[in-house]
Amino acid sequence: MIAPPPGGVRTVLRLEGLAVLVAATLAYGQLGAGWGAFAMLFFVPDFSLLGYLAGPKVGAASYNAAHSYLGPLAAIALGVLGEQPVALAAGLIWCAHIGFDRLLGFGLHYASGFGTTHLGRIGRADPW
């Protein structure tokens, strides 16, 4: 069994999620992009959960790919350096989503099952 981080560490990780959510949302607001797009795209990374239809290993890999900061930071870099405002907006929305998930305690998943994350167990029982 994978041990969750101690209470204090878990709290810090969740507060980091809050900080990312707030910072990304404020930065998005400064872009002047529409809030309708923010609302429509905010939960798009959760479509990665469909990977669990192929089993816990594929599900964890697809979820983690969509919930790691590497993708959104690459999009933000492309947006800033390549002067691509759509990429910048998408990266900020993506970061906000990941921060929101971390704030709620949804961490990166282990291949052992849906409910085991780097922030501890989630849910009642492992459905996968």
Average pLDDT of the residues in 89-107: 94
Residue-level pLDDT at 106: 87
Residue 2 maps to a domain: no
Residue 102 maps to a domain: yes
Region of 61 on the Ramachandran plot (φ > 0 left; ψ -120 to 50 alpha; else beta): alpha
Residue 103 maps to a domain: yes
Report how many domains make up the chain.
1
Average pLDDT of the residues in 52-72: 94
Residue 124 maps to a domain: no
Which residues, in sequence order, are CB contacts of 39 under 8 Å at separation 6+? none
- In this prediction, residue 78 has a pLDDT band, given cuts at 50, 70 and 90, of very high
Is the pLDDT at 1 greater than 70? The verdict is no
Q: What is the pTM of this model?
A: 0.86
**Which structural domain, as residue segments, surrounds residue 105?**
7-119
Residue of 97, 98, 104 lying closest to 10 (CA atoms) = 104
